[in-house]
Amino acid sequence: MNIKCESAVDRFLGFDPATLYEAAGHRGMVDPTIRPAWAGAQLCGVATTVECPPADNLMLHHAVAAAVPGVVIVANLGGYLLTGAWGEILTVAAQARGVIGLAVDGAVRDIEAIAEHAFPVFSRGLAIGACTKERPGRLDVPIQFGGVTVRPGDIVVGNADGIVIIEQDRADQVYEAALARREREAELMEQLRLGKTTLELLGLPGLERLKAGK
């Protein structure tokens, strides 16, 4: 897997996922039902990918064992929600390997303990059911995750608003567009404080125009 240098990823820390999604041309938005599992969880790192059979988390254990510092584990668990595929034990193991977060299309458990460890987790749900650890899956391959294709090395950014995936070969382009968008938004907010309206600044149609059907 091609792990980008830390500075290339850290430049995205100052941006929210919505801005990056807009900057990417409305690409990369993960299904918004995949949410932070505890308040304040945030992600910004390089994806390492995992595909697990439903109700079995063996490959998550392999992903943690193989992880390099700075990665976010992104896992497709088939959307299965009756077993918690990740808990406190895997969290401690992941932090010891330098993993900086987890995003799973499935369920997790031990979330209060995970929050105490300040380990960012995003999931589709919570469940106390136990997983088996028997069936093979796949590591570091393109996967489908919340409606988005995620490849090893892509950049994952998430906060309370949701998650966006930035394709690694478009990272520079998205970053430059995000900078321009942030500057534009700062200008708009300054004009709003001076008394302008969003209708004026954004060129939105007035009521008369709407009534005329134009």
User: Using CA atoms, how far apart are residues 45 and 10, in angstroms rounded to an integer?
Assistant: 8
**Domain tally, the chain:** 2
What integer pLDDT is reported at residue 190 of this predicted model? Answer: 92
User: Does 183 lie in the same domain as 120?
Assistant: no
**Chain segment 133-144, per-residue pLDDT in tens:** 999 999 999 999
Q: Is the dihedral of CA 153, 137, 54, 70 positive or negative?
A: negative
Residue 112 lies in a domain: yes
User: Using CA atoms, how far apart are residues 6 and 112, in angstroms rounded to an integer?
Assistant: 29
Cα 3 to chain centroid, rounded: 17
Q: Which two tokens stand for residue 63?
A: 């992903």
User: Does 186 lie in the same domain as 153?
Assistant: no
Residue 1 lies in a domain: no
Residue 8 above 50 pLDDT?
Answer: yes
Residue 1 above 50 pLDDT?
Answer: no
Confidence of residue 210 (pLDDT cuts 50, 70, 90): confident
- Residue 116's contacts (CB-CB under 8 Å, 6 or more residues apart) are none
User: Using CA atoms, how far apart are residues 77 and 131, in angstroms rounded to an integer?
Assistant: 11
User: Does 91 lie in the same domain as 107?
Assistant: yes
User: Does 179 lie in the same domain as 163?
Assistant: no
User: Does 187 lie in the same domain as 146?
Assistant: no
The CATH number that applies at residue 42 is 3.50.30.40
Rounded to a whole number of angstroms, the CA Rg of the chain reads: 20
Residue 63 lies in a domain: yes
Confidence of residue 2 (pLDDT cuts 50, 70, 90): very low
Residue-averaged pLDDT of the chain: 93
Task: Express as a percent the part of the chain with pLDDT over 90.
Answer: 87
For residue 41, what are the CA distances in angstroms to 22, 52, 144, 212? 22, 23, 22, 47
Query: Which residue is listed with tokens 């070969």?
Result: 169
Element (H, E) at 185: helix 171-193
Residue 158 lies in a domain: yes
Amino acid code (one letter) for 8: A
Query: Which residue is listed with tokens 């992104």?
Result: 74
Higher pLDDT, 206 or 170: 170
Residue 213 above 80 pLDDT?
Answer: no
Per-residue pLDDT averaged across 128-154, rounded? 97
Confidence of residue 49 (pLDDT cuts 50, 70, 90): very high
Confidence of residue 3 (pLDDT cuts 50, 70, 90): low
Domain residue limits at 195: 175-211
What integer pLDDT is reported at residue 212 of this predicted model? Answer: 74
User: Does 159 lie in the same domain as 78?
Assistant: yes
What integer pLDDT is reported at residue 211 of this predicted model? Answer: 72
User: Does 116 lie in the same domain as 14?
Assistant: yes
User: Using CA atoms, how far apart are residues 92 and 4, in angstroms rounded to an integer?
Assistant: 24
Residue 172 above 60 pLDDT?
Answer: yes
Cα 4 to chain centroid, rounded: 17
What integer pLDDT is reported at residue 207 of this predicted model? Answer: 80
